[in-house]
């Protein structure tokens, strides 16, 4: 009901919307992984939302291609889910 077609958060689907979450923004320019220039308050808000809402409510089921692929589209052989920030594999499986 929140993420489906026409729903309030549909703009977030399939994107790394880290910046938008930190800024509480659905502006297309903010729907990116880039956290450059965020304030300390926005970064704290992002951390709180991730740990107290997203991790508590949703299991991690995958990663955006930006993390698992290199810029040329080849697999990122250095990617390890267990090494990702804020992720403890025991929390999910």
pLDDT digits (tens, 9 = 90+) for 12-39: 888 888 999 999 999 999 999 899 999 9
Task: Report whether pLDDT(89) > 60.
Answer: no
**Same-domain pairing of 15 and 26:** yes
**Same-domain pairing of 35 and 47:** yes
**Same-domain pairing of 30 and 67:** no
**Same-domain pairing of 54 and 69:** no
**Same-domain pairing of 53 and 72:** no
Burial of 17 (0-12, 13-18, 19+ CB in 10 A): buried
**Same-domain pairing of 43 and 23:** yes
Q: What is the CATH number of the domain that holds 38?
A: 3.10.120.10
**Same-domain pairing of 7 and 33:** yes
**Same-domain pairing of 54 and 78:** no
Q: Which helix (H) or strand (E) holds 66?
A: helix 65-68
* pTM, 2 dp: 0.64
Q: Report CA-CA distances (Å) from 55 to 22, 28, 39, 60, 75.
A: 15, 24, 22, 8, 26
CA dist 16 and 34 (Å) reads: 9
**Same-domain pairing of 14 and 54:** yes
Whole domain around residue 27: which residue ranges? Answer: 1-58
How many domains is the chain partitioned into structurally? 2
Task: Report whether pLDDT(62) > 60.
Answer: yes
CA dist 40 and 74 (Å) reads: 35
More confident residue, 4 or 90: 4
Q: Which two tokens stand for residue 27?
A: 């502006």
Q: Report CA-CA distances (Å) from 34 to 3, 57, 60.
A: 22, 24, 20
């Amino acid at each position: 009901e929140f993420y489906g077609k026409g729903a309030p958060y549909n703009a977030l689907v399939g994107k790394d919307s880290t910046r938008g979450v930190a800024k509480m923004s659905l502006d297309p320019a903010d729907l990116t992984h880039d956290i450059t220039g965020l304030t300390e308050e926005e970064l704290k808000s992002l951390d709180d939302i991730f740990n107290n809402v997203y991790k508590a409510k949703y299991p991690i089921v995958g990663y955006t291609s930006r993390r698992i692929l290199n810029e040329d589209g080849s697999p990122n052989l250095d990617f390890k889910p267990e090494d990702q920030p804020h992720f403890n594999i025991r929390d999910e499986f």
